[in-house]
Every structure is written in structure tokens, then in C-alpha cells.
Structure 1
Amino acid sequence: MIRPAAIVLPAREGFSAGAVGAIGGQVAALAVPGDVVVGAPLTAASLLPRHDYRPVRPGLWPPGGRSVRYAAAVTRVVRDLATDVIEVHNRPDIARYIARHCPRQRVLLVLHNDPQGMRGADTPALRADLLRRMTVACVSDWLRGRFVDGVPAHHAARVLLSPNGAVLPATVPPMAERAQCVLFAGRVVADKGADLFVAACAELRRSHPGWRFDMIGADRFRVDAPATPFLTDLAPRADAAGVEMTGYRPHAAVLSAMEQAAIVVVPSRWPEPFGLTALEAMAAGAALVVAPTGGLPEVVGDGGVLCAPDPPAGLARAIASLMDDLPARQTLAGRGRARAPRFSIERAVALRQAARLAALHHGAG
């Protein structure tokens, strides 16, 4: 049964063609007819199409920080909507505020990042309190483990799994016809290992002169992303390593680049809560090299080469082993394509709907 919801974005999450991150992109992909998306004010002409978007403008009341005023503004909108479930993304403090002030509606908190670093969920007591007030769903089992850590078992059993999803192209270019290109796509920040990718490419450029090295991304998922000190420092090293930095590109352009590249690398330092880039690379038919941390191993399975990205010399060796072996690339890409349907959009929608249904019955009986 399709259960529409009011979907609350984080205050700084984009929902327009020129500025949308992983959370906004997943909300757009998994929304069903009747859903209402609530978030920060955006230019109407730039909004993602085919979605009912309601902007909220925080006022001066109640007293407190920006998060409290945003939660209050969201509450004024969602409590008047004809939806039984309010789906709050990645903000435990806002979800708690809404649960207190919208008693006729049920709250589903969907977590995309480690709750142990979030305001309102950073202790076991706070996480247990959230479960008394609402239903919680996590995008990976690794993330679910972080949420239930220290939480009483009778509460922990109610934390659900609601993974991200990706569009699965019906066909992709065969490996033998792809460009000899090694691709990094994502935020160009230290956590994502952008500098480790550049360092590995510096070694690979000398041994594989026929290959190209591309980096798509910026500090943020928007066209006007700032030139940060990290980017300013990385740019000359990337140039010396033969890495072409293209900056931010729309999501469709990123997916197209993945379908043309032979190898995609996800060298994250931090434990990725899910690893959507890795999933999209598998769906696109690229050979994948990925860090073995966070939720990445459960998403990738045998569909990629797991390799610690630091030191970069080890990362370079893992990439080189694929550059030197077309059959190995073909086999790995085939395994990735076979695994990707576990995280199709259709399955992700079904699991999100199941989480909404669980939220609707939270506390019943």
C-alpha cells in the first residue's frame, strides 16, 4: 500500500537541479505520489520537477538556535498537511521536536549519517528516547549498528533498515569499449580521500601513460561551491599528477561519466554510512575500487575490490592491477552489475514504504 508522507529535509539540503546532495537526491528518487517535500526556500524555477515542495521560513520564535526555529517553522507546515506520517531526514533533534508538537501524526526518522555524532542522538539514552517517540530507519546495517550501540535490546529491535537506491541502466557500454579512464566522483574533501586519489594517480601516470585520470566534484553539491583551502592546495598536485578536475557536475552527467569510465575509485577515509557513489558505479558497469569501511562492504560485496586507500601506494597497486588486466575488469564489472539490483529504486521504495507503515503503527496495541 502506498503511504504518502510529509518529507522534511535538513535545513541546508538542496532540492534543485543545480544544488542537490545525496539526501535530496534520494528523497526525489524515492518519493511517491502524494508526498510533500518540506525544506528551505528555493527558487521555484530551479526546483527538481514533479515534486510538491513547500518552503519554510524560520521566524524569530521560539527563542533558541537556528535548528529550533527551523523545526518550529517545519512543524507549522506539516501539522496541517493531510499525511499520517512525517518522514524526517538526518536530524534527530528536529524529529524529536516535531514528534512533541504533532501528536496526531507519526514520525519516521531516516538516518543517512552516524547518529553518534548528531545532536539529539549522540548518547544511548537519547537514542532510546527517540525510539520511544518515533520509528527510526537507517540506510545501512552498519549505520543501524551505530544507532543501537548501547540501546536496550527491546528498543533496538525496532530500528529498521531502509537503504538507498539507484537507477539500474538496462544496458551499459562493454568494458572493452570504455575509455581508459580512472574516475573519482564525489565531494572533493579530505574525508572522501580526494588527495589520496591524486597521490595514487601521480604514481599511475608514470606507469600507465595511455590512461586518463578524472575528478568530478567540488566541496559541495552545487554549482557555486566555494574554492576551499583544501581544493586550492589540491589543484596544483592534481595538475602535476595528470588529474583533470572538472568541478561540480549535475548528477546525470556524473552517471554518464561512470558509464564511460573503465574504473571508478571510492577512496574514503571516513566510514561511509552507505556509499551511494559505489552503488552507482556498479550499476553503471565500471570496475570498482573501494575503501573497506563503514557501510561500503555490505553495499559492494564481491562487486568491487576492497582496498585501504592510505597509504596511496597500496591504492595505486590495486588500481594498476585492474588497469593491466582487461578480463579482470570485465569480471569485476559483471559482478557489480549483478549485485546492484539488491539496491534498485523499486526495492528502496518498497522498504521505505514498509518503514512508513511501521511508523504509522508505532505504539499501537
Structure 2
Amino acid sequence: MTRVIHTITPWDHFSPRTGSAIPTVVDGLARAALACGDDRHAVVVERSTFQPRYDSADAIEYSGRHVSARARQYLDPALGRLALPRIGAAAYFRPLIAALRSEPPSIVLAHNAPQAAWLLRDTDHRVVLYAHNELLRTYTRREAARALAPAHAIVCVSGDLARRTRELVGRANEGKVHVVGNAVDTTGFAPGAGRSEDGPMRVMFVGRVVPAKGVDTLLRAVAGFERSELEVVVVGSAGFDPSAPLTEYETELRALAATSGPRVDFRPFVDRTGLPGLLRTADVLCVPSRWAEPSGLTVGEGLATGLPVVASRVGGIPEAIGPAGLLVAPDDPVELEAALRRLLDDPGLRRRIGRAGRDWATSHDWAWAWRHLRDVLDAVSPGRDG
């Protein structure tokens, strides 16, 4: 296969010191490629970002250029509606694109960068847009069709995201859309000895503590439980800085927790190295998102750890959880309370769901994801019809 180069967003960190999803996906895919006997991947990364870096891919460094966020958030969509180039995004990605131009022809996996195919259209690179989110919501169909015309494929991390993407990319690009679900490191995330069933059931949330993640829904759902029945651990911060001041939302959550029956323990952001051990201290993982998460990595990590996962029935989460776990309506504390009560009252059910989750995770590890992605990339490699 032609060499694979990943691009991540400028100033994103290809390092286990961050909790960012895209570097985790890149590391998982690159590591799986090596394990499957395929060539080593590379990743284009801004040189000032966190060290140490993951050792699964070669780093191609460049010096980034800061561009006004207002230009990218407000000016660019206005230009797009007028069928004019998005000058803010072009300037923001220009140093990254320059680094790619100095590389031999490769398959470029442009993670969350719909601009990359157009900016590299005059090169011999085969560009694949790797969509982790609904990237084209500010694009008109005409602009999306033009921007993605040079793309050789579009990979989405769930069927739900692929459906929404096909509606936006224009008829000429619909056939380029493929689904490669996110996976999990089943070696790093694995069951532990298990907690005693004599004490309170420990329900854990892990992720960014922002309104979209629905931590307030979890706290409202557990308010009526007794302290002897349940305890809650909320792990995360608004961003990836554990020492950052609390946001207004984080402060509101602490006030809400003060009125709750169970004990609620707030812990700041934990990097990738500390997460597997932390999950092994839980009895249940809760993913109460109220937004349409395309494919939550935390879901798979909880399943791989052997935890019963209770998650919102929204976006790509049902695909990630498969036949394991319990799904509830988003933003519905009553339904979430009932699901937690069911697990509390039936330890045997917790064990059965946990085993089913582990089985699902082991069949959806990074080698599984890489094999599916490799099929897509083989089809767009030089010498093949794409």
C-alpha cells in the first residue's frame, strides 16, 4: 500500500498527555497497521505541541500559523455562502499543507479537515477526508460539493454521521462516503479484579465536563438514591488542563451535587495513561450525552474494561455500544434513574452486561478498524479505480 500520512488539527497534540479523540484514533490505527504487518504511518504535527508523542507513527513537523478564530468561525462561512474561498481556513492550514507538499505522493488521511482535498488538488497525494464530527454544517451543498470534489474518499466514524454527511456533500460525492467505526485498545483497557458488591455501586463519568456531555442529567438522575446505595465519580475538566479554573457549568454541577443523596466525587482531567486503571475502579460507566456524538471513544473503553455502560440513545452511540450496555433517552433523568436502579438491584445483570461488553469490544479493536479502513484505502491507491 502507498504510504499513509495522517493530518491532525493544527496545535492538537499527538501525545498521551491529552484526552483529544483524534490523536487517540490516529495512534490506534497506526499501531494496528504495524501489528498487521503493514508499513509504518506518519503524522503531520505542529512542532510546539506536547511531548512525549505516541511512538506509533513518524512525526512530520511544521511551524503553525495562528489565525483569528473569528475569521474562521464567522468570516469563512459568509464567504462560503457567496461561493468564495474560505481565506481563514486556508491560512490556518497553509503551513500544514506546505509540509505535505514536500512529501512523496501518499495517502493523506485528513482528520476533520474538509479543506485539505481542495488545498492539495494540484498534488499527487490521494486525500481522504476522515470525518469525526459533522464538519459541513456551515457549508452550502454547492460549496461542499466543490471543496470535496478532489477528495478520493470520505470516511465517517459511524453510520449515523455518514447518513448526515451524504446529505451535505452533493450528489457527485455521495458514493465516496464510507463508514469505519472507532475502536478500542483491548489490551490497555481490560477488566480488573472487580470491586466488592457489598458497598455502594460506583457510577463513573469520564470526559469533558461541558453541557453537551450531560453530566447534570446524571446528577439529577441519582439525586433520589441513598448514600449507601450509590456513589458517583465525575472525572474530567472543561478542557485538558486539570489545573484550569472551574467554569460556570462546573460550578453549577457542584451546587447540584450538594443536594444529591449519594456522594459525588469530582476529579480533574486524567490523561490517557491514567484512564485504564481509573475505569477499573468503577462498577458502571455512564455516558449521558445530550448531543449527537458521532462515536464516543469512552463507550468502547468502558466496554473493554468489562463495565456495564449506560449511555444516551443518540448519534453514533448505539452503534458503538452494539448489543451490550443499556441505552436511555438523552436528557431524561427519569429514564436514566430507572436504568441505574435496574443495575443496582441486579448484580448478576451487571456482570452479564459487562461480559457482553467485553466480548463486543474485543471484536471491535483497532485491528478490526484498520482492516476496514485498509479496504477503503486500497480502493483509492494509485493504480486502482477510486
3-state secondary structure, aligned to 1:100: coil
Shift of 1:131: 4.5
Contact 2:62 2:99 in 1 (8 A): yes
Classify 1:151/1:93 alpha carbon distance in 2 versus 1 (closer, same or farther; 3 Å): closer
Quote the residue 1:113 is aligned against.
133
Q: What pairs up with 1:37-52 in 2 under 5 angstroms? A: 37-43=43-49, 45-52=51-58
Quote the residue 2:10 is aligned against.
11
Classify 1:361/1:342 alpha carbon distance in 2 versus 1 (closer, same or farther; 3 Å): farther
Classify 1:278/1:22 alpha carbon distance in 2 versus 1 (closer, same or farther; 3 Å): same
Classify 1:50/1:295 alpha carbon distance in 2 versus 1 (closer, same or farther; 3 Å): closer
Shift of 1:130: 4.5
Contact 2:116 2:127 in 1 (8 A): no
Amino acid aligned to 1:142: D
Aligned mate of 1:132, from 117, 137, 149: 149
Quote the residue 2:102 is aligned against.
80
Shift of 1:224: 4.9
- Please provide the CA RMSD for this pair: 2.7
Instruction: Return 5+ residue gaps in structure 1 as ranges.
Output: none
3-state secondary structure, aligned to 1:6: strand
Cα distance in 2 for residues equivalent to 1:130 and 1:342: 36
Question: Which stretch of the first structure deviates more once superposed, 151-160 or 316-325?
Answer: 151-160
- C-alpha offsets along residues 235-269 of structure 1, whole Å, 9 cap, x if unaligned? 23234432111110012322222223111110000
Aligned mate of 1:267, from 276, 285, 288: 288
Is the counterpart of residue 336 in structure 1 residue 357 in structure 2? yes
% same residue: 26
- C-alpha offsets along residues 83-117 of structure 1, whole Å, 9 cap, x if unaligned? 421111012123422x334x211101100001342
Shift of 1:5: 1.7
Shift of 1:67: 2.6
Cα distance in 1 for residues equivalent to 2:8 and 2:315: 23
Cα distance in 2 for residues equivalent to 1:126 and 1:78: 24
Is the counterpart of residue 53 in structure 1 residue 73 in structure 2? no
3-state secondary structure, aligned to 1:245: strand
- C-alpha offsets along residues 135-156 of structure 1, whole Å, 9 cap, x if unaligned? 1111111111011116565632
3-state secondary structure, aligned to 1:310: coil
Q: How high is the TM-score relative to the length of structure 1?
A: 0.88
Cα distance in 2 for residues equivalent to 1:154 and 1:67: 24
Quote the residue 2:76 is aligned against.
none
Contact 2:223 2:259 in 1 (8 A): yes
3-state secondary structure, aligned to 1:17: coil
Q: What pairs up with 1:209-358 in 2 under 5 angstroms? A: 209-225=228-244, 227-241=246-260, 242-358=263-379
Contact 1:176 1:326 in 2 (8 A): no
3-state secondary structure, aligned to 2:47: coil
Amino acid aligned to 2:106: D
Shift of 1:50: 4.4
Shift of 1:219: 1.0
Q: How high is the TM-score relative to the length of structure 2?
A: 0.83
Aligned mate of 2:118, from 93, 96, 102: 96
